[in-house]
Amino acid sequence: MSHDANCIFCKIVDGKIPSLKLVETEKSLAFVDIGPCAPGHSLIIPKYHAAKMHELPDDSLADILPVAKKVAIATGAAEYNVLQNNGRLAHQVVDHVHFHVIPKPSQEKGLVVGWPSTQPPKEELQKVHEKLMSQLPK
């Protein structure tokens, strides 16, 4: 199993840094975020160290969403976000894959997102589709 001795999340997995654990499986750990943007904001991390989601083995990735579902239910939030960032430009701060479950109790509390959608022509979308199809892993 991949581990990074300098990674804060690996230290949490190893019990070297305390956390407020919620759910633990063989492959995942969920705990309360210490810098929440809403009450109940929690993190789900794989025990396997990988910086970005595409570097994570599929079996570790498959274990995470059922844990996120349990945490989402536990918050009691009718509305919530599940967020996962990859890389600095995408707002990733800790270089260990992690999923946030963030309750959205009001317009002001919880995750605030800007969504700069565009309206590209159908031909441009078709080119993007073709490129993605040619690069999908088999």
Q: What distance in Å separates the CA atoms of residue 104 and residue 89, rounded to the nearest whole number?
A: 24
Location of structure tokens 């810098």: 35
- Clarify whether 98 is annotated catalytic: yes
Full DSSP string of 91-113: T--SSS--EEEEE--SSSSS---
Q: What distance in Å separates the CA atoms of residue 137 and residue 44, rounded to the nearest whole number?
A: 26
- Assigned token pair, 128: 């993007």
Give me the catalytic one of 41, 96, 98, 100: 98
Residues designated as active site: 98
